[in-house]
Amino acid sequence: MKNKNLLITGCAGFIGSHTVDCFLEDKNYSVFGLDKMTYAANEKNLKLAFENERFKFYKGDICDSDFVENICRENNIDWIINFAAETHVDNSISDSKEFLKSNFLGVHSLLEVCKSNKNVKLFQISTDEVYGVASDNVCFSENDKLNPKNPYSATKAAAEHLIKSYVNTYKIKTLMVRPSNNYGPRQHLEKFIPTILNSLKNNKKIPIYGNGNQIREWTYVKDTAKAIKFIIEKSDYNQCYNVTSNVEMKNISLVEQICSILKKDFNDNVTYVEDRLGHDQRYSITNLKIKNLGFKKYSNFENNLIETINFFGESFK
């Protein structure tokens, strides 16, 4: 395989930085990182990358299509892997303007780059939330209708439709994943598992929305990174894949498990707060399509949860 040059946007974020590390482990890849360095980015996430001669960092905004196009031309980029996005649902409910800018107009900017340079292909990171709420005993497949229920997931779904329109109209080449909830080292403190750990670390009550019975699927971040690399290497163009380990549990059960691992009394460490507006009850997706492609092995949830707890224990010191 010839050396492939990747532009990974949102490279200093959670999943983006792990994906940078994943590709740099393979000497067939050179990685060029682009990040606006908003509140969700952390330069420390790129510690390993900066030690690698096959990594180069650019600070900038994906909405600046001229800047992105120059990077692509100067470095003979094969793929743009787009993690750059606003992702926190609560923030999208409070104010969705930045979500429209990053998640929709930003994708439009990247598509324009691909349109003007046919050698550049787009790998879009979407979300399982675009499907909306899954009823009991239902798992969404890639062919199911998109039915987003909050401003965040609506902007991601809109970006998907825009991508499909560019594939149809301009014949650009793309790939896409819809991952379930990711967890692991480096995740921003606003997310659920870091919030649990940060609350326990600081002797604060863990906030639980409503009754805590909302159901989510959990996938280890390094598994998602490996899946992305596998898809680039194995898939035909213009395909979409769900990525999930199918580890499904209620939010309250996850809090209980973490309290048990840390030997903390559950009842003494939680507080129930008013539920989020339009809070989706259950997300559930099938990973049969990516399994049929050949990606079948997901790592152990409990072991990875302990690793995550240990990481945040160190980072809070």
Instruction: State the residue for tokens 């482990």.
Output: 25
Dump pLDDT digits (tens) for 78-112: 999 999 999 888 888 888 899 999 999 999 999 99
At 267-298, the pLDDT tens digits run 999 999 998 888 889 999 999 999 999 998 89
Beta strands 181-183; 174-179: pairing state: unpaired
Question: What number of residues does the chain have?
Answer: 317
Per-residue confidence (pLDDT) for residue 92, from 0 to 100: 87
Residue from 29, 131, 152, 241 carrying the catalytic annotation: 152
Residue 57 has pLDDT above 80, yes or no: yes
From 128, 217, 223, 280, the catalytic residue: 128
Report the C-alpha gap between 36 and 64 in whole angstroms: 11
* Token pair in block for residue 97: 């303007």
Q: Tell me: pLDDT of 234 over 90.
A: yes
- Looking at residue 116, its pLDDT comes to 96
Rounded distance between C-alpha atoms, residue 103 and residue 156, angstroms: 6
Residue 136: per-residue pLDDT: 86
Instruction: Give catalytic status of residue 129 as yes or no.
Output: yes
Per-residue 3-state assignment (H helix, E strand, C coil) for 186-232: CCCCCCHHHHHHHHHHCCCCEEEECCCCCEEEEEEHHHHHHHHHHHH
Q: Which of 61, 69, 129, 217 is catalytic?
A: 129
pLDDT attached to residue 205: 96
Q: Which pTM was predicted?
A: 0.95
Is residue 317 predicted with pLDDT exceeding 80? Answer: no
In the chain, the percentage of residues whose pLDDT exceeds 70 is 98
In CATH terms, the superfamily for domain 4-183+218-244 is NAD(P)-binding Rossmann-like Domain (3.40.50.720)
- Which tokens is 301 given? 């949830």
152 catalytic residue (yes or no): yes
Domain boundaries, the chain: 4-183+218-244
- Mean pLDDT within 176-195: 96
* pLDDT for res 163: 98
DSSP bridge pairs for 30: 5
Tell me which amino acid residue 61 is: D
Write down the pLDDT at residue 149: 92
Note the pLDDT tens digit of each residue in 17-27: 999 999 999 99
Q: Are 7 and 72 in contact (CB under 8 A)?
A: yes
| 316 pLDDT tier (thresholds 50, 70, 90) | low
In this prediction, residues 144-166 reach a mean pLDDT of 96
The percent of residues in the chain predicted with pLDDT above 90, rounded, is 89
Give me the residue label for tokens 């809109």: 158
